[in-house]
């Protein structure tokens, strides 16, 4: 983990603050690439993931942005209410599960706070003079983080703002924007689950190959757990077998028996808890793995996923 302090806290839009983080001694931070995120130990002991939204060429700071969500599990409220300039934080080194790939053209679709990784991508694409367009969709202008910064940037001409409360002519015509999938064009989308699903499903209907569509979720969709049943997990290294109750996750059940699995988001989004599966059939409930990776059935996220078989043998 890295010790940092809050260099600056800025109100970027209604309900959205940005935080610039740097080392207390001003030393360089580990490098990162566009699309990266960091784990942040927020006030209250929670750990949450936030995308880096500053220029990846910078080494003196990381910048994140947080939407104050009253329906959250405490992370965003703690960041907004308890964190102030000068406060110390522990963060992880950057990780990238949402990397840019070389493309002839790149289409970026941001929904609300989902702009954070895409803003970093736009900065990178502009720096290498790549062909790209960022569609930034928000409820209203006053809820549009970094609006003035983007308007003043060298890539302002590559960005189109779309407001829910604006005139019909400025709203995103998604079908028209993605009507002609090309082999050299890649599409990236980040934002609320409903926004992502809309873009991804629309792209599929238009014939976009799945390997040209890239997504990053901020949170898992609600799961129907009414039919969940108990099953068993066997630890390969010790041979111990533990029962996983219907109302408890694998990670939490194993924790009660002294088997620790590193977790972070606890929603199947970040990939921190990925565990190899040696035998058994998984009931994948994460938003991390692709359909192809899930079909291999050789790893799963014990923070949220379960078993379809009676027993899962884990490589622990």
Residue 224 counted as domain residue: no
CATH of the domain at 119: 3.40.50.80
Residue 134 counted as domain residue: yes
Residue 223 counted as domain residue: no
Give residue 82's pLDDT. Answer: 78
Residue 226 counted as domain residue: no
Give residue 271's pLDDT. Answer: 79
Of 194, 217, 240, the one marking the end of a domain is 217
Residue 273 counted as domain residue: yes
Q: Quick one: 70 and 126 in the same domain?
A: no
| Among the listed residues 217, 219, 264, 192, the one whose alpha carbon sits nearest the alpha carbon of residue 39 | 264
Q: Quick one: 77 and 124 in the same domain?
A: no
Of 31, 60, 91, the one marking the end of a domain is 91
Residue 99 counted as domain residue: no
Q: Quick one: 241 and 213 in the same domain?
A: no
Q: Quick one: 21 and 45 in the same domain?
A: yes
Of 91, 114, 149, the one marking the end of a domain is 91
Q: Quick one: 127 and 203 in the same domain?
A: yes
Residue 45 counted as domain residue: yes
Domain range enclosing 167: 105-217
What is the domain count for the chain? 3
Q: Quick one: 14 and 52 in the same domain?
A: yes
Give residue 73's pLDDT. Answer: 57
pLDDT in tens, 101-154: 999 999 999 999 999 999 999 999 999 999 999 999 999 999 999 999 999 999
Intervals of the chain under pLDDT 70: 70-75, 219-223
Residue 100 counted as domain residue: no
pTM for the model? 0.77
Give residue 70's pLDDT. Answer: 63
CATH of the domain at 252: 3.10.20.30
Q: Quick one: 179 and 275 in the same domain?
A: no
């Amino acid at each position: 983990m890295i010790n940092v302090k809050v260099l600056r806290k800025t109100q970027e839009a209604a309900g959205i603050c940005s935080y610039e983080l740097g080392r207390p001694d001003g030393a360089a931070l580990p490098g990162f690439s566009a699309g990266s995120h960091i784990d942040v130990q927020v006030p209250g002991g929670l750990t949450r993931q936030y995308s880096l939204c500053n220029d990846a060429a910078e080494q003196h700071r990381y910048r994140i942005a947080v939407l104050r969500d009253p329906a959250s599990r405490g992370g965003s409220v703690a960041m907004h209410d308890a964190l102030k300039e000068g406060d110390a934080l522990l963060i992880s080194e950057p990780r990238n599960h949402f990397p840019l790939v070389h493309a002839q053209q790149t289409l970026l679709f941001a929904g609300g706070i989902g702009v954070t990784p895409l803003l970093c991508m736009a900065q990178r694409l502009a720096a290498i003079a790549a062909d790209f367009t960022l569609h930034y969709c928000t409820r209203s202008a006053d809820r549009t983080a970094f609006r003035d910064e983007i308007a003043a940037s060298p890539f302002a001409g590559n960005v189109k703002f779309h407001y829910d409360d604006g005139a019909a002519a400025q709203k995103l015509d998604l079908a028209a924007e993605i009507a002609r999938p090309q082999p050299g064009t890649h599409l990236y989308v980040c934002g609320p689950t409903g926004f992502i699903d809309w873009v991804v499903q629309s792209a599929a209907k238009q014939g976009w190959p799945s390997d040209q569509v890239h997504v990053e979720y901020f949170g898992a969709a609600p799961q129907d757990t009414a039919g969940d049943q108990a099953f068993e997990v066997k630890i390969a290294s010790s041979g111990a077998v533990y029962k996983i109750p219907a109302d408890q996750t694998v990670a939490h059940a194993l924790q009660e028996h002294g088997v620790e699995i590193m977790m972070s988001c606890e929603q199947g989004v970040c990939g921190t808890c990925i565990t190899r599966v040696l035998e058994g059939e998984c009931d994948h409930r994460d938003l991390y793995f692709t359909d192809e990776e899930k079909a291999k059935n050789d790893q799963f996220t014990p923070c949220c996923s379960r078993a379809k078989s009676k027993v899962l043998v884990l490589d622990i």
